[in-house]
Amino acid sequence: MDMDIFKIVIIGIMGTVFIVLIKKYNPEYQVFISIATGVIILLFIYSYLGPILASFQQLWSRVDMDSRYFEILMKVIVIAYVTEFGSQICQDAGEKSIGMKIELAGKVIIIYLSVPIVLSLIDFIIKLIP
Amino acid sequence: MDVQMIFKIAAIGIVVAVLNQLLKNAQREEMATMVTLTGVVVVLMMVISMIADLFNAIQTMFQLY
């Protein structure tokens, strides 16, 4: 389990070698190999994410705070992660403008999700000011 | 998800490239185009199912719906 990093590095190097190999003959397969390599590496990370999330949740339950905010935080993390994945693939394939638009969409959705937190912060500040 | 997917995609790419060259040398340009297109579609399907698996895994992990 701890030595997964070696596997991940080897998978990454292998994907790169295949991309370099195939670039000459069939350039349209580059993006497929890069997506497959990315998905496999992210699925490797996935098995580590469970314990991390569980410990975060434990920590959060110790503090007397609304669990709704924790859900928003998780959603924002997932959106950032997926957005980055998609936009990197688009930019690697040379479509910078689509990648930028995916990033913009991610940013807008994150702002939309975090509006309740900002509002509650402003409420709190107004309460503090007599 | 296993690593064999990368090998599969690379193998399909190389086979399609070879077939493409052969058909082009045999003066069958339209067949060569069809082979290339079919290879791209097959690999696209594989990659799309991989992405769907990843997104499903993330959504169940973070309990998002």
pLDDT in tens, A40-97: 998 888 888 888 888 888 888 888 777 788 888 888 988 998 999 999 999 988 899 9
Q: Which domain holds residue A53?
A: 1-60
pLDDT at residue A87 in the model: 94
CB-CB under 8 Å, A36 with B53? no
Q: Given A41, A60, A79, which residue is the final one in a domain? A: A60
Indicate the SS3 state at residue B42: helix
pLDDT at residue A16 in the model: 93
For A26, which of B16, B51, B63 is closest by C-beta distance?
B16
Based on the domain organization, do A28 and A83 belong to the same domain? Answer: no
Instruction: Please answer whether residues B7 and B41 qualify as being in contact, where contact means their C-beta atoms are separated by less than 8 angstroms.
Output: no
Based on the domain organization, do A123 and A72 belong to the same domain? Answer: yes
Instruction: Give residue for tokens 């402003």.
Output: A122
Instruction: Give residue for tokens 């296993």.
Output: B2
User: What is the pTM assigned to this prediction?
Assistant: 0.82
pLDDT at residue B65 in the model: 52
Based on the domain organization, do A37 and A72 belong to the same domain? Answer: no
Based on the domain organization, do A26 and A74 belong to the same domain? Answer: no
Based on the domain organization, do A37 and A97 belong to the same domain? Answer: no
For A36, which of B6, B14, B64 is closest by C-beta distance?
B6
Based on the domain organization, do A14 and A52 belong to the same domain? Answer: yes
**Using one digit for the tens of pLDDT, what is the confidence trace for A90-118?**
998 889 999 999 999 999 999 999 998 89
Q: Given A60, A86, A104, which residue is the final one in a domain? A: A60
Q: What is the DSSP letter of A1?
A: -
Q: To the nearest 10°, report the CA torsion of B9, B15, B17, B21.
A: -170
Based on the domain organization, do A30 and A81 belong to the same domain? Answer: no
Q: Given A14, A37, A60, which residue is the final one in a domain? A: A60
Residue B29, both tokens? 């340009």
pLDDT at residue A65 in the model: 76
Confidence grade of residue A25 (pLDDT, cut at 50, 70, 90)? confident
Based on the domain organization, do A70 and A35 belong to the same domain? Answer: no
Residue A21, both tokens? 């190999």
Tally of domains within chain A: 2
Buried/exposed A9-36: b ≥16 CB within 10 Å, e otherwise: eebeebbeebbeebeeebeebbbbbbbb
